[in-house]
Structure 1
Amino acid sequence: MTYLFTFGETMGLVAADSIGPLGYARSFSYGICGAESNVAIGAARLGAPATWLGRVGRDATGSLITGRIEAAGVRALAISDDAFTGLMVRHRRSAEFTHVDYHRQGSAGSRLMPADLPVAELRGAGVLHVTGVTPALSESCRATVFQAVETARAAGVPVSVDVNYRGKLWSRFEAAPVLRDLVTRADIVFASPDEAALFIDDDDPLDGLAKLGPAEVIVKDGGRGCVARIAGRRHAVAALPVTVVDPVGAGDAFVAGYLADRLAGEPPEQRLATAIAVGAFAVTVPGDCEGLPDRTELAALTGGDVRR
């Protein structure tokens, strides 16, 4: 099995332990969060070799990030930077609404640059995975994403893109042309219906995204499951019924499941089934990546015995 290569900003995560206004929270958990590292950790727990690259500050949070990613079985290429490590503060205002504040402008992760890319690592990967988060962080991050994509394409390495639009990082007007350009260069694309609507006019997000060129288009639709068009064939998979404890990170978990099975040579039907199951498992436990399952735990979920 070849490996997954991904990169981006991973931050410290301060999360209120209780549901309600932040001002009334009396205890907090401290962990890590980042779309790309979540995918790398999820894939590694499913047995897929994974490498993550990113810049971290010379601070306790930077050390925590590197240690946590490596402890999850991911090869971490952490570049030390003089800037601070970014931070996310998150609380659940209600059972239905999660509020996030970013403290990341000028952070170490936002200073990633094309010269940081290990070209040999990229050329030897089984899949390069990037997200729409990284191009929003800075001009140098955007240049790094497109340089990595072009390097991978030239080497025949499949490019995976998760649109992953973040409205707090850039406007829809700013994001749309960049994300569209990125998707046109992808072999595999993941998006929600709302994300696809940012830059396509087609009523059917599958058709609209497929017209941009990717051979594998997967539309993630939360509790409604997913639909996909892979090598011209349409697929639909329903969501699994689970008790939702923390909905954050489900999309990254879904991507991790799909890419892990793709690297293992599984057919599209199996990749999608695994993606749905990993996403479902992720929402049954708190945290962005702490509860991502291994293969044994995943089998327990699909067998009807959810272990928490």
Structure 2
Amino acid sequence: MDVVTLGESMVVFTPTSDGFMRNASQFTKKIGGAESNVAVGLARLGHKVGWISKLGNDEFGKAVLASLKGENVDISQVIFDSEAPTGIYFKEPRRQNSTRVYYYRKGSAASKLSPTDLNHDYLSKAKYLHITGITPALSESCKETVFEAIRLAKENGSTIVFDPNLRTKLWDEETARDTLLKMAKEADIVLPGIAEGEFLFGESDPHKLGQLFLAQGAKVVVLKMGAEGAYFSTEKESALIPGFPVKQVVDPVGAGDGFAAGFLSGLLDGLELGKAVERANAVGALVTMVNGDVDGLPERDEVEQLLNKNSEDVVR
């Protein structure tokens, strides 16, 4: 298995009209969740990826499972819970480049994840363990599960990739900061945004943030900077890798997950760090051009077309 990730996936409802959701009468139904988005992104790029979670034994849970199975994500470690529902959330596209998100996930099946739900043999086969700061915010048992997965990954020699994915609505700032810093200390690779770095360290300079995360114990830090691109840091080198221009951002939700999938894909293909970050930037840009968390996640040929076009433009 190339990558294993764990976390909550939900059913996403989006009004078919812009403006206040209170006035909407029709909605589209799709699937979304940071970790499963990364899983789908990697699968579309040709990698073997597994997703660990719990779903309600309901129609929404069955929809999530069918969707991920159809994307060639391994769902053998997903557990159905008959006593808790599948989480849902709503997107409210207010204006161009402005989308509000409302979560209804308290008491969801995924929030019932516990360390006993982890299959040690399954995790031992993963080259990379991908985790986010969302899962430990769902419940105390979810937090314990994430740290147990980290322990097992270290025991098995897997590389730990951590995306803070800060969600301030899910927990208080002190607990969030303390937990995310503990996760950063355990991770080999950290993929924060500038705002998350500022939340954790009170610093917004990319180079300084990179050094701060490295001092925590990470070997590689890649700071996502939106349209500007991404800034990577190691003990030996650091550089800004420019982003790809997007004429119109249709839906920004999920771009960071696409970035993570693109970066991991580059590492799995043996690319040097700068090229892996470039692939991450390309995938993130492509995601923003399409509505839906996973709908814009590209296949390999689309990414290569964008990368080749960018290379030709540079040459000219």
Higher helix share: 2
Q: What SS does structure 2 have at the residue aligned with 1:191? A: coil
Q: What SS does structure 2 have at the residue aligned with 1:164? A: coil
1:87 corresponds in structure 2 to: 88
CA distance in 2, matches of 1:230, 1:17: 44
Contact preservation (8 Å) 2:133, 2:164: yes
- Superposed, which structure 2 residues align to 1:38-187 within 5 Å? 38-76=37-75, 77-82=77-82, 83-187=84-188
Letter in structure 1 aligned against 2:144: A
Identical amino acids, percent of aligned pairs: 38
CA distance in 1, matches of 2:58, 2:241: 43
- Superposed, which structure 2 residues align to 1:154-303 within 5 Å? 154-201=155-202, 203=205, 204-242=208-246, 243-303=248-308
CA distance in 1, matches of 2:304, 2:71: 19
CA distance in 1, matches of 2:42, 2:142: 23
Q: Does 2:10 align with 1:15? A: no
Q: What SS does structure 2 have at the residue aligned with 1:91? A: strand
Contact preservation (8 Å) 2:128, 2:158: yes
CA distance in 2, matches of 1:198, 1:115: 32
How far off is 1:304 after superposition? 4.2
Letter in structure 2 aligned against 1:67: A
How far off is 1:198 after superposition? 2.2
Contact preservation (8 Å) 1:48, 1:264: no
Contact preservation (8 Å) 2:97, 2:251: no
Letter in structure 2 aligned against 1:152: A
Contact preservation (8 Å) 2:96, 2:249: no
How far off is 1:121 after superposition? 1.4
Letter in structure 1 aligned against 2:174: F
CA distance in 2, matches of 1:264, 1:96: 33
How far off is 1:303 after superposition? 4.0
CA distance in 2, matches of 1:193, 1:206: 10
CA distance in 1, matches of 2:221, 2:97: 28
Contact preservation (8 Å) 1:112, 1:141: yes
2:313 corresponds in structure 1 to: none
Q: What SS does structure 2 have at the residue aligned with 1:265? A: coil
How far off is 1:302 after superposition? 2.9
Contact preservation (8 Å) 1:43, 1:50: yes
TM-score of the superposed pair, with normalisation by structure 2: 0.93
CA distance in 2, matches of 1:158, 1:105: 31
TM-score of the superposed pair, with normalisation by structure 1: 0.95
Q: What SS does structure 2 have at the residue aligned with 1:102? A: strand
Letter in structure 1 aligned against 2:81: D
Q: Does 2:3 align with 1:4? A: yes
How far off is 1:89 after superposition? 1.0
Cα deviation 1:116-152 (Å, max 9, x = unaligned): 1111111111100000000000000000000000110
How far off is 1:263 after superposition? 1.6
Q: What SS does structure 2 have at the residue aligned with 1:18? A: coil
How far off is 1:231 after superposition? 4.8
Q: What SS does structure 1 have at the residue aligned with 2:8? A: coil
Q: What SS does structure 2 have at the residue aligned with 1:211? A: helix
Q: CA RMSD in A?
A: 1.4
Letter in structure 1 aligned against 2:295: E
| Bigger Cα displacement from structure 2, 295-304 vs 165-174 | 295-304
Q: What SS does structure 2 have at the residue aligned with 1:66? A: helix
| Bigger Cα displacement from structure 2, 253-262 vs 192-201 | 192-201
CA distance in 2, matches of 1:157, 1:304: 35
Contact preservation (8 Å) 1:201, 1:208: no
Structure 2: state its 5+ residue gaps: 311-316
